Amino acid sequence: MRNVASYINERKRRMDYVEIIHKWQHTVECWQ
């Protein structure tokens, strides 16, 4: 059961990371 919780947390963290990168890329595109 703990494996499932850690797996979900890992996916959630990865999604947050992808979202941050996506926003950053969008900001860079606006600057250019």
Check residue 2 and give its pLDDT: 86
Whole-prediction pTM value?
0.53
As given in the structure block, the two tokens for residue 1 are 């059961």
Residue with tokens 């990865």: 14
**H helix or E strand, kind and range, residue 8:** helix 2-31
22, two tokens: 């996506």
Residue where the block lists tokens 């992808």: 18
CA pair distance 7, 2, nearest whole angstrom = 8
Interval 1-32: pLDDT, tens: 789 999 999 999 999 999 999 999 999 988 87
Integer Cα distance of 1 and 24 in angstroms: 35
